[in-house]
Structure 1
Amino acid sequence: MRKIFLWSFLSGFALFTGSNYPVLAAGGGYTVTDIQRMGLQANGLLQAVRSQVEIARAEVTSASAFPNPEVTFMAGPDSKRLPEIDTGPASMQRQVTVSQSLENPFVRRARIGAAEAGVEASRANLEQARADLAAQLRVHIYEFLLRRGLAEMESDIHDLMGEIQRRIKLSVESGETARFELIRADTEVMTAASRKEAALLNTERARIALLQLTAGALPPEFNVTASLGDPVELPSLEALRVELSTVNPEILRLEAEQNRAHLRIDQERASVLPSVNILYSNYQDKQFTSNTAGLSVRIPLFYQRRGEVDAAVSDAARVRETLDYRRYEINRLLESAWQAMEIARRRVEMFEGGIVKEAEAALRVAEAAFRLGERGFIEVLDTQRVLRNARSELLQAQFELQSAAAEIDRLRAHYPKE
């Protein structure tokens, strides 16, 4: 009876481990692209970054505005200091003065250009935020699939261990099996229950992380129609290097900031030129009306904005050095992500084409030896644990492959548009 039970258990367990663990539930659900679009539309932090673009556009409007004229009005009575026979009766006087500054065209052009460069920098910053969020969503989606696949595997193992425990208990009660076997079975059930509980909690944590990133746009019990085995298709490394220099948001942002810094230098240097105001004044009292016009010129004789110019030059040097370093660093990040992807791809190929198959073959050999009485149940169970570990490593390698591809897409700002 004991051997019949063990043989039935091993056949069922081998069938379970020999199949691919499903990582998605039956029925419809959300694709990876759907969830990314929902997150890009609903995430509040991304909306805040989008507002920075509108602020930068408003600054262009401010920079393009012409200076307003200044109007000064003064009025008051005359006070007599001599007899009225000499001065005549007292009267009221009033004066209106209008001042209009003539803006330096070089300053104006540089100021508007700097504001427009700020818009480009804000757009690139928004693009970077979108790419970062899309990559986070993709990684968290596949982490959710990984955790769910591991939870399903551990749940099935727990159910099988429970069935073993029940049957061994019957064998112990009938005297066919020593009580030591039941103690072993109890230990296996408790270990499997602990792994199952941890896997379920990790799955729920991954689900909550996705709900957080999508700002609650996903329903609480959502389903994902994707698999850890989804194909990863990317251009060649050389093509990615060429593409990166023209599409990476951080490089584009730093280039816009560099342009803005250079325009700020032009603005500060142009500010050294004399500034001119046109003046017009109308004066009236009881006897006279006077209209006068003139110019007010501010001459930079003592201070020629040397501090502001030097600060602008230093800021431009800072941006240039940052841009050069980030170009180098981003290319290294691309190569690192590419190597990680290739390593993960080779691990997937090794597990799918070699390690898992060898573990399955080892299990079949152990089963045959058990049927012939040459091996005990513990040896077969140990072989089964090796197969389970191999399949867990396969799921982890598939997840690492998807994560590396997500990092490459983040660097190249490749994501589904909103």
Structure 2
Amino acid sequence: VNHNPVLANEQGIIEERQGDVISAGAYPNPSFNFQVGDGQVRDPSNGLSVTERVFSFNQPVEWPSKRKARKLAAKAGVESAQAGLGEVKLNLIAKAKILFYELMLAEEITTLTGESLTTIQHVAKVVTQRVDAGDTSPFQQVKVNVEVLQARQALAKARGTVNTARTALNTVAAGALGTHYVLRGEFLMSNHDDNIDETIEQALANHPTITKLRKRLEQANHHLVQEKQTRIPNVTFNSFYARDAGRESIGGGILIPIPLWYQQGGEIAGALAKKRQVEAKLLLSHNELEKSIAQNLQRLESAAAERKVYEEGFLKQAKEAVRIAQVSFQHGEASLLELLDAQRVLWQTLHGFAQAQFDLSAAFVHLEHSLGTL
């Protein structure tokens, strides 16, 4: 998933926030003013003419507490963006794992469908031989040929599902897998670990989504402080040198704006509202995360129980039913319909077992996603 362009976008956001840190730490630039012109004393007895000059230098000075709050807000913005990158990466990994297991399921179904087709074709040959020998009616051959056709259609559909799943997985990897990649892996067999309670506590404290919103709240707090400190205006120190006709002077001064009519009321109210919005989002995300963990735990336990039922009961019964039906059919004690029904039940059971394996693996991925442990 490292090739996915979504990660590059999130990395760009981090770099943008890092630029905000540089801007937040910058000092106000000074200004320099220079004026020159001709001057003449308007005295008929003198008629003095000189070049007049004026130099001035101004340096704004920002209130230290405001600058500090702005720097802290920018730093929290970087940390929030970094947590956002972790959140996006977590989502991509979870999506890639689900698509991986979907492809495994599609390939497993394709294999089972191919085996079912082979079995039905073998039965069709036996039926053809019996029809040719006059041991059974031609109608039996028609029925088995229909079963063969349906099995071929199911196999073609299963192969199409595999191609779709392969494309979806390669898309998440931004095409890095290529078109002819080989899938290696297996479905998960285990349940969650014994330290799940401790893992849940860590997830609620360190999940990327929670961390991102916590940093946004920290940023909102610093921004609120910054707006409050802005009520104290910046001061500007200045110095000058002036020479005109008949006079030369040098001096300095200070410029202090007076917040008489407006004291940042709107900006402070907006920053406070933003803080409350982030607080609400953080609480909502915390509650949703707890709910998601509980639901995925239940989903995992249900999937594990379903897989166990197939493994310990349904599979053995379906295979035994097919074995008995095959032996009975060979000895003429079971009809073609009974054999095909047994084969169909076995295929459906194997299909259900593969789906149960996928459900267990997918449930585990969803739980890991909720816990942030992928």
Q: TM-score, normalization: structure 1?
A: 0.84
Q: Partner residue of 1:181? A: 140
CA contact (8 A) 1:237 1:338 kept: no
Q: Partner residue of 2:233? A: 274
Shift of 1:358: 1.8
- Distance in 1 of aligned mates of 2:341 and 2:46: 123
CA deviation digits over 1:197-240, x for unaligned, max 9?
Answer: 11101111111111111112213222222112454554544223
Q: Which of 11, 14, 24 pairs up with 1:63?
A: 24
CA contact (8 A) 2:35 2:54 kept: yes
**Identity within the alignment, %:** 26
Q: Partner residue of 1:392? A: 351
- Distance in 1 of aligned mates of 2:311 and 2:150: 27
Q: Which deviates the most, 367-376 or 149-158?
A: 367-376
Shift of 1:368: 4.6
- Distance in 2 of aligned mates of 1:264 and 1:142: 45
1:272 partner SS: coil
Q: Partner residue of 1:192? A: 151
Q: Partner residue of 1:95? A: 54
Q: Partner residue of 2:270? A: 311
Equivalence map 1:216-295=2 (5 Å): 216-285=175-244, 287-295=246-254
When the two chains are superposed, the root-mean-square deviation of aligned CA atoms in Å is 2.0
Q: Partner residue of 1:17? A: none
2:341 partner SS: helix
Q: Partner residue of 2:120? A: 161
CA deviation digits over 1:248-303, x for unaligned, max 9?
Answer: 11111111111111111111111111321101122233544322200000111100
Shift of 1:100: 0.8
Equivalence map 1:15-164=2 (5 Å): 39=1, 41-78=2-39, 85=44, 88-164=47-123
- Judged with a 3 Å threshold, the aligned counterparts in structure 2 of structure 1 residues 158 and 370 are, in CA distance, closer, same or farther, namely closer
CA deviation digits over 1:61-97, x for unaligned, max 9?
Answer: 211111111222233334x6x8562562444323222
CA contact (8 A) 2:61 2:234 kept: yes
- Judged with a 3 Å threshold, the aligned counterparts in structure 2 of structure 1 residues 169 and 376 are, in CA distance, closer, same or farther, namely closer
CA contact (8 A) 2:238 2:253 kept: yes
Corresponding residue pairs, total: 374
Q: Which deviates the most, 101-110 or 284-293?
A: 284-293
- Distance in 2 of aligned mates of 1:90 and 1:235: 97
Q: Partner residue of 1:296? A: 255
CA contact (8 A) 1:127 1:413 kept: no
CA contact (8 A) 1:100 1:278 kept: yes
- Distance in 2 of aligned mates of 1:337 and 1:202: 26
- Judged with a 3 Å threshold, the aligned counterparts in structure 2 of structure 1 residues 73 and 171 are, in CA distance, closer, same or farther, namely farther
Q: Partner residue of 1:7? A: none
CA contact (8 A) 2:76 2:215 kept: yes
Residue type of the alignment partner of 2:208: P
Q: Partner residue of 2:335? A: 376
- Judged with a 3 Å threshold, the aligned counterparts in structure 2 of structure 1 residues 164 and 395 are, in CA distance, closer, same or farther, namely same
Residue type of the alignment partner of 1:414: T
1:97 partner SS: strand
- Structure 2 runs not aligned, ≥5 long: none
- Distance in 2 of aligned mates of 1:207 and 1:235: 35
